[in-house]
Amino acid sequence: MVNNEEENWTLVIDKKSNKSILQILKSILSYKDLLFLFVKRDFIAQYKQTLLGPLWFFIQPVLTTITFSVIFGNLAKISTDGIPNILFYMTGITFWNYFADCVNKTSNTFTLNQGLFGKVYFPRLIVPISIILTNLLKFCIQFFLLIIFWIYYFSISDSIIIQNTILFFPLLIFSMALLGLGVGMVISSLTTKYRDLSFLVTFGVQLLMYASPIVYPLSIVPIKYKWIILLNPMTSIIETFKHGFIGVGVFEPVWLIYSFFISVLLFFIGVKIFNKVEKSFIDTV
């Protein structure tokens, strides 16, 4: 016997339904316990079955810094504006690693979680946000390592000066998180149809690093090319941090505002595209 009475559903998923950004973010808050569970899972599982475990949080930036110091500092003789090579490269690497990890890991959200997404409903945006928060914990650990090196070089060098722009530090972290999340969500949404894009992400992020002032200071870039480097939103974020933290770097408020605007814009674009794709990705992934 068929019951013709209208059923009262607590949740209806419809391709045609469009939620506002505010509604999407409010739905995330209602699943905050699941969000923290994902963060805990990812943080613990990341190095759980490795030989050195959490030590990789420290080893990776140290080895990269040493490599950059030898190749770019000692062999190529690229200027570091009077800052010790180790401190200069580690400052840039610490910031860049956070952004790169956010992009690389969020860009595979749909393909890596298709089994989970196909079984149970929850706001899919929780997964990329949990990646951003997990990487933030990793960033805090590596930033603590950077502080140790900073204290050492500050005690033996007169070239390191703290500037007032260090107060922008929370804004810089927030901008990087939005930028990495926005770019990652856009790429993740596109890879549901164009799987080969996932192979280009790591290479593209690596290439973008050399268009950022990581292995060189912005001050050595010729004036006629500087605007090209500044079009990269990460440039002003990294340069502002260097300016406040070690006293070198170019602080230009207009370009910092530009970076923040691009970060917010890409975040909103990423959320809208991600929310649209999540309704039908299971049919194409």
> pLDDT by residue (tens digit) across 111-142?
777 777 767 777 788 889 999 999 999 899 99
Most confident of 20-24, 79-83, 90-94, 157-161: 90-94
- Three-state SS string over 142-210 comes to HHHHHHHHHHHHHHHCCCCCCCHHHHHHHHHHHHHHHHHHHHHHHHHHHHCCCCCHHHHHHHHHHHHHC
Query: Which range (25-29, 50-54, 120-124, 233-237) has the least confidence?
Result: 50-54
- Give the separation between CA 92 and CA 129, rounded to whole angstroms: 24
pTM for the whole thing? Answer: 0.86
Residues 247/267, Cβ–Cβ less than 8 Å: no
Percent of the chain with pLDDT over 70: 86
On average, the pLDDT of the chain sits at 84
**DSSP letters for the chain:** ----SPP--S----TT----HHHHHHHHHHTHHHHHHHHHHHHHHTTTTSSSGGGHHHHHHHHHHHHHIIIIIIIS----TTS-HHHHHHHHHHHHHHHHHHHHHHTTHHHHSHHHHTT--S-TTHHHHHHHHHHHHHHHHHHHHHHHHHHHHHHH-SS----GGGGGHHHHHHHHHHHHHHHHHHHHHHHTT-TTHHHHHHHHHHHHHTTTTTSS-GGGS-HHHHHHHHTSHHHHHHHHHHHHHTS-S---HHHHHHHHHHHHHHHHHHHHHHHHHTTTGGGT-
**Which pLDDT score is estimated for 53?**
65
**Which pLDDT score is estimated for 167?**
93
**Which pLDDT score is estimated for 194?**
73
- Give the separation between CA 15 and CA 23, rounded to whole angstroms: 16
Using the predicted structure, report yes or no on whether residue 18 has a pLDDT greater than 70: no
Model pLDDT for residues 144-156, shown as the tens digit of each residue: 999 999 999 999 8
**Which pLDDT score is estimated for 189?**
83
**Which pLDDT score is estimated for 282?**
53
Using the predicted structure, report yes or no on whether residue 31 has a pLDDT greater than 80: no
Using the predicted structure, report yes or no on whether residue 67 has a pLDDT greater than 80: yes
**Which pLDDT score is estimated for 1?**
45
pLDDT-derived band of residue 60, with 50, 70 and 90 as boundaries? confident
Q: What is the mean pLDDT of residues 40-45?
A: 78
Model pLDDT for residues 235-269, shown as the tens digit of each residue: 999 999 999 999 888 899 999 999 999 999 999 99
**Which pLDDT score is estimated for 9?**
52
Model pLDDT for residues 74-101, shown as the tens digit of each residue: 898 898 888 999 999 999 999 999 999 9
Using the predicted structure, report yes or no on whether residue 280 has a pLDDT greater than 90: no
